[in-house]
Structure 1
Amino acid sequence: MGTFSILNQSASGKNLQRLFLLRIIAIVSQIIIFWTVYSVIELELPWMPIILTISLLAVLNFFTWIRLRYAWLVTNPEFFVQLLIDVASLTALLYFSGGSTNPFISLYLLPLTIAATVLPWHYTWTMAVITISCYTFLLFQFVPLPHDHLDDHSRHMFEFNLHVSGMWLTFVLSTLLITFFVVKMNASIRDRDKELSRSREQALQNEQIIALGTLAAGAAHELGTPLSTMAIITGELQQESLENVEFQRSIRILRDQIALCKQTLTHLLADAGQARVEEGNGQPVDVFLQQVIDKWQLVRPSIRFTSRYDGMQPAPVIMNTRLLSQSILNLLNNAADASIRQVDITCRWDEKQLHLEILDDGPGLDAEAAEHAGEPFFTSKGPGQGFGIGLFLANTNIERFGGSVRLFNRPEGGACTHVILPVLQGTASTSL
């Protein structure tokens, strides 16, 4: 916990971090300015209360740094109190160094600008009233700057030059600090808008998934009866033409497909609402991938494919859930539909990530497919050949597991589906 990167990372926490940095700049600037006044200009000021004020501000800023190391939410009242500390210290320093005649009086605009940028309007108006009151107080109550060692002409020239120089320095400091804070605040606002946009997109995807889940539940109920009927009929057909090897092979494939459909429908409702990442089982990456490919081979027995595995042994563990395996199956089916001759599957992993590349030798992605791939109900297949939800569901589910899916054209032709998935800490000794 010794670096700034692990401090409070909420939006309000980042604002307090910036105020902490601005206060450091203010303390350093005050030390430099008063040291110049003491050693170069040689003005006699009440140095003891000035030093105590700067020291107290530094101590309070140190406690602010300690507070930032905790993940507690920075509330608006707390941030407002932090600004009041700066106003109080500035008022004290101005009181002991000329009051309203001090050219640094315009620094009151800094906490007011910060309050207007960060806090709700009632805090801003309260800060405006407080700073105006402090300025008004310093019009009448302050320790004047000493000029006893100068004649009238020299005193007027000195006051004029000092005031002009102070105004210039105040403008430079105010410009730099306000620019720094406003730029950082604009960056925070843009980050917040991006986060809100991602949240809205995620909420929309969740609504679409819920709608698809409702339709799937109804479809599962409706398909149960016709699948049972087909299972009975294919069982009876299997008893016929026993000498016809090709016929028996086709019936066996058909019965396997029907059994797989029934098994999928059986688990559909049982798994609904329980397919969370934490409820899956850890399994070696190579074993998990081989099981998915074996299931895909059962579903698509006519597809020619090659598979290659490359990674550390023993293989790391990946979270094996039905959602994840089904998502990869959807991607494999999309590649099989697009492929002309065969599908090439390449699996690579290390101690952090699994990289799965599914290569087809089809025509590749056209401009429309490249732009809209992964959107719900978009499909580049012909009428009746796809619903446009396979890639959408696969991408959504894989992102829920902390992974990503990227679909792009290959230079040599065809398309590549690149899946990246995180693996769990630790390895398993089971391998292919």
Structure 2
Amino acid sequence: MFSDLSQSPLSKNLQRLFVLRNIAIIAQCLTFAIVYWTIDIVIPWARMISVVALLALLNLLTWVRLHRKWPVTHTEFFLQLLIDVLALSTLLYFSGGSTNPFISLFLLPLTIAAATLPWRYTWVMATITIACYTLLLFIYVPLPHEHSNHLIEFALHVSGMWLAFVLSTVIIAWFVVRMSSSIRDRDRDLAKAREQALRNEQIIALGTLAAGAAHELGTPLSTMAVVTGELQQEYKNDVEFQNNIHILRDQIAHCKQTLTQLLAKAGQDRTEHGSELPVDEFLDQVLDKWKLIRPSVKFAYQCTGTQPAPRIMDNQLLSQSILNLLNNAADASTKCIEIKSHWENLMLHLEIIDDGEGLSAEAMQRAGEAFFSSKTPGQGFGIGLFLANANIERFGGSVRLFNLESGGACTQVVLPLLE
């Protein structure tokens, strides 16, 4: 009903209060009908019906207000509860005051205030309800009483007390349960937000260090390029030396190109400078690049899915993240890596299976944490899996690691595809 509303706790509570007030109005109308048609009693019906009509009009205005994107304040919510207290007090005034068995319904707005509002509002509400109850001890329109029907009236009074208790219990339980559910949802969202903020801080720190390292490495690489160029010119007749210098210059050029791309891509949004590719073509490009980086690694690739293949964002961060996962599997594998890809319903399922020793209990628990590595010291920095997981989650995907019963570990990647 209120799908477009703000999901703040007070907005949700006002929605619940709107529903509770509807239930109260219906219950009051049913009670009036039963009393009017089954019990011969004279009370100011017109005034009581006017109070219920005004309460219904207020709830209609609340319904209109709920469809506006205005923030709900503590004061507004308190005033809504206060109107319910005044309406209940007026109805009780015309129907016996403190002798009315429904007098215990004063506990409902007080309980809701205690569960949803700051303590100051709660104490004000407690003072108001106590004052209303106290006034109704002395000021009220008494109910007609006949001594000949004393037992029947007493039975009706006890039945009314029972009904008031049942209504109070059900409404309080329902409201408190929904409140607890909202609190748990809020705590879960806050925990997720804190985790995301911490991860963003770590990514920013890594990006800052990477940019600094790129600038610092630029000068030595330029110096090495100049020196190797002079050596290449100086020893032109030495064929073996020329071959070695050529390889060295190619490696230096590759390092400089990597640093240039690192600096150029820093800070770019994932949707900028990114084209779309069929998912099978994208995976082929990633594997071709990986074969150049790790030519000694043996792997078997299996690709299944509907044709024509859906498209995926061709983004350097995404491809680099998959490369990081492939490199981790290559480091853990002893003989061969098995890679499986399958797409359906605009979702890509990628599995990278190695034949290594599998993940230890600590690695299973801490996999994906920044600067945690299960490799021997000096063999890994503990940031490849962390950055891969962070980037894939930014694209709406997920990464899961688990051990296989047959041995080895499996890295499972799920990524959304484009329509």
Output aligned runs, 1:33-432, within 5 Å.
Answer: 33-147=31-145, 150=146, 152=147, 154-155=149-150, 157-228=151-222, 257-274=251-268, 276-284=269-277, 285-424=279-418, 426=419
SS at match of 2:42: coil
2:88 & 2:30 partners in 1: Cα distance?
15
- Consecutive unaligned residues of structure 2, counting only runs of 5 or more, are none
CA RMSD of aligned residues (A): 2.7
The Cα offsets for residues 388-417 of structure 1, whole Å up to 9 and x where unpaired, read as: 111111111222222211011122222111
Amino acid paired to 1:174: S
Offset at 1:104?
0.9
2:126 & 2:328 partners in 1: Cα distance?
63
Query: Structure 1 419/66 Cα, relative in aligned 2: closer, same or farther at 3 Å?
Result: farther
Amino acid paired to 2:123: W
The Cα offsets for residues 242-291 of structure 1, whole Å up to 9 and x where unpaired, read as: 589xx96x9877665544332221122232222x2332524123333222
Amino acid paired to 2:415: L
Aligned twin of 1:430: none
1:417 & 1:407 partners in 2: Cα distance?
5
Query: Structure 1 351/233 Cα, relative in aligned 2: closer, same or farther at 3 Å?
Result: farther
Query: Structure 1 211/114 Cα, relative in aligned 2: closer, same or farther at 3 Å?
Result: same
Q: Is the CA contact 1:8–1:68 (under 8 Å) kept in the aligned structure 2?
A: no
SS at match of 2:380: coil
Q: Is the CA contact 2:329–2:354 (under 8 Å) kept in the aligned structure 1?
A: yes
Offset at 1:106?
1.5
- Consecutive unaligned residues of structure 1, counting only runs of 5 or more, are 427-432
Amino acid paired to 1:138: L
Offset at 1:160?
2.8
1:184 & 1:293 partners in 2: Cα distance?
50
Query: Structure 1 195/386 Cα, relative in aligned 2: closer, same or farther at 3 Å?
Result: same
Query: Structure 1 257/113 Cα, relative in aligned 2: closer, same or farther at 3 Å?
Result: farther
Query: Structure 1 257/340 Cα, relative in aligned 2: closer, same or farther at 3 Å?
Result: farther
Amino acid paired to 2:94: F
Offset at 1:230?
5.3
1:254 & 1:416 partners in 2: Cα distance?
36
- Of 18, 28, 32, which aligns to 2:26? 28
The Cα offsets for residues 302-344 of structure 1, whole Å up to 9 and x where unpaired, read as: 1122333333344333333332222111111111111122222
1:133 & 1:387 partners in 2: Cα distance?
68
TM-score (norm. length: structure 2): 0.89
The Cα offsets for residues 346-385 of structure 1, whole Å up to 9 and x where unpaired, read as: 2222343222222212221121111111111111111110
Q: Is the CA contact 1:7–1:71 (under 8 Å) kept in the aligned structure 2?
A: yes
SS at match of 1:417: strand
Offset at 1:6?
5.2
Query: Structure 1 66/340 Cα, relative in aligned 2: closer, same or farther at 3 Å?
Result: farther
Q: Is the CA contact 1:403–1:419 (under 8 Å) kept in the aligned structure 2?
A: yes
Aligned twin of 1:429: none
Q: Is the CA contact 1:316–1:351 (under 8 Å) kept in the aligned structure 2?
A: no
Offset at 1:8?
4.1
Query: Structure 1 368/309 Cα, relative in aligned 2: closer, same or farther at 3 Å?
Result: same
2:12 & 2:93 partners in 1: Cα distance?
32
1:192 & 1:279 partners in 2: Cα distance?
33
2:183 & 2:69 partners in 1: Cα distance?
20
SS at match of 1:277: coil
Percent identical pairs in the alignment equals 65
Q: Is the CA contact 1:8–1:69 (under 8 Å) kept in the aligned structure 2?
A: no
Query: Structure 1 239/160 Cα, relative in aligned 2: closer, same or farther at 3 Å?
Result: farther
Offset at 1:176?
1.2
The Cα offsets for residues 183-232 of structure 1, whole Å up to 9 and x where unpaired, read as: 11112112212222122222222222222222212221232244445556
Count the aligned residue pairs.
415
Q: Is the CA contact 2:2–2:66 (under 8 Å) kept in the aligned structure 1?
A: no
1:315 & 1:106 partners in 2: Cα distance?
67
SS at match of 1:308: strand
Amino acid paired to 1:401: F
Q: Is the CA contact 2:10–2:72 (under 8 Å) kept in the aligned structure 1?
A: yes
Moved more, 383-392 or 165-174: 165-174
